[in-house]
Amino acid sequence: MAYTLSPGEISSFVKLALDEDAPFGDITSEACVDEDVRVNAVLVAKAPGVIAGTEFAREAFEQCGARCQVLIEDGRKVKPGDTVLRVVDSPARSVLRAERVALNFLGHLSGTATATAQLVAAVDGTGTIILDTRKTTPGMRAAEKAAVRAGGGHNHRLSLSHGILIKENHIRAAGGVRTAVQRALKARTSPEMWLEVEVTDLNELREALDAGAKMVLLDNMGEEMMRQAVEIAHEAGALTEASGNITLSNVRRVAETGVDFISVGYITHSAPWLDLSLLVEHDPPAPPAE
């Protein structure tokens, strides 16, 4: 399941960020830089990674009145020194006004794409698909999920309205795994709707499968139990997803249990930002002759 932000939605996000960053104008640039000064600038990578969020960065510069050319599109790898975008012959105040907002979007989303790409590379050859979660920055979910796709991952459901995922508290409130699954099967509006149930041990797994579940989330299982759970689920024709305390150091071992999917929260909620920097290119006028 994937959702792409429209140009209008990106514009609204960026306007909100610009208004937050300079509600009464950029008083530093207005104090230090003449209004008629024009510059070029380059936004460069300072670390290796995968780029995401270029449309947000472009929009930030353009909303401030600068001309921007994206040179490296989302999903492309970068190395230190690579130029991601260029700002051409634009008012210096506009470039400085947009700088931090552009870097915030690009650094954060590229960090998500980079972390995702590392996980995807780690499970290469196993057939396991890396998924994101709903552990996202409020208001930024669609953008962060797009960054996951840029990094080679896939999206879990976009929201609570986009599929049924029965978790521990749903099971408790419903009165058990079997009851929750049976009620969900009756309630879903089409056979194609995502319907998955979380289980923590083999007994819950068998109960979910007996009730008709065709996708199970194996939550915080040890690798040996997970391997058994995958066997049981696949024999019943069900897909499996692993989740809980999965990191780059153990994701390969988890994938080798045979799970179909691995969902990882940190790629959206705490991935390190990709280090990027904006460098203004400007030759100041010569001082007046004495």
CA distance 57 to 99: 9
| Residue pair 216/209 in contact by the 8 Å Cβ criterion | yes
CA distance 245 to 89: 48
Is 167 known to be catalytic?
yes
Give, for 68, the enclosing helix (H) or strand (E). Answer: strand 67-70
User: Of 21, 30, 62, 219, which residue is the catalytic one?
Assistant: 219
User: Of 38, 100, 188, 214, which residue is the catalytic one?
Assistant: 100
User: Of 19, 46, 167, 223, which residue is the catalytic one?
Assistant: 167
Is 100 known to be catalytic?
yes
Is 15 known to be catalytic?
no
User: Of 99, 198, 204, 260, which residue is the catalytic one?
Assistant: 198
Phi, psi torsion values for 68, nearest 5 degrees: -130, 135
Is 89 known to be catalytic?
no
CA distance 124 to 109: 23
Report which of 88, 84, 103 is spatially closest to residue 17, judged by C-alpha positions.
103
Is 260 known to be catalytic?
no
Place of tokens 């207005």: 30
**Integer CA distances (angstroms), 203 to 181, 217, 234, in order:** 15, 14, 16
CA distance 221 to 244: 8
User: Of 67, 77, 86, 135, which residue is the catalytic one?
Assistant: 135
Residue positions annotated with a catalytic role = 100, 135, 167, 198, 219
